[in-house]
Amino acid sequence: MKILSKILCIVLVVFVVSACGYRGATHSSLIGNIKTVYVEEPKNSHKVPNLDVFLKQAIIKQLNSDPHIKVVSKKSDAQGYIHTDIINYSIYPSVFDKNGLARTYRCMITVNLTLTNKEGKALILNKTLTSFADFDASNDDSAIEVAKRSPQNEVLAKLAVLIREELFINF
């Protein structure tokens, strides 16, 4: 009876783990069994200069760190296409000192992610992802300048991680 209950327990655990889409380190492709991707130029709907360039570089860097996926430079060589649209960019005060003056600001960026296969079928359609970073600045004008130097790139790097994670989710 103990052996039967152990077997039943193991089967139950395997079933539960596989039902939620868990994949071990042996996963070999993105959603839809895509193994090669082309990262399209991000659309910069917010018109902040160079966000699209940094985002594309960060996405490629994240995907290149995974040995199970290959980023290709020609769209015709890809099985899937990653498209991102930067839909929001904001810098606003997030922490105030005892005099009510802003001392910490937040840079927040939101993108929509779409993954399509070679046939044009959307495997992920307009998935909204947001990330942020806090930083110190003395006023609104300096916050904008400070954000351009480092925090916005930090946020874009975090978004690239979120994008990579979203591409491998398979629930």
- Domain at 84, CATH number: 3.30.160.150
Report pLDDT digits (tens) over 77-122. 999 999 999 999 999 999 998 988 898 999 999 999 999 999 999 9
Chain centroid offset of residue 114 CA: 11
| Residue ranges of E strands in 26-154 | 36-39, 43-44, 70-71, 80-96, 102-117, 122-136
User: Percentage of residues in the chain with pLDDT exceeding 90?
Assistant: 61
In a domain, 47, yes or no: yes
Report pLDDT digits (tens) over 44-86. 987 788 999 999 999 999 999 988 899 999 999 999 999 999 9
> Count of CB atoms within 10 A of residue 119's CB?
6
CA distance 93 to 137: 9
In a domain, 65, yes or no: yes
Per the structure, the count of domains in the chain is 1
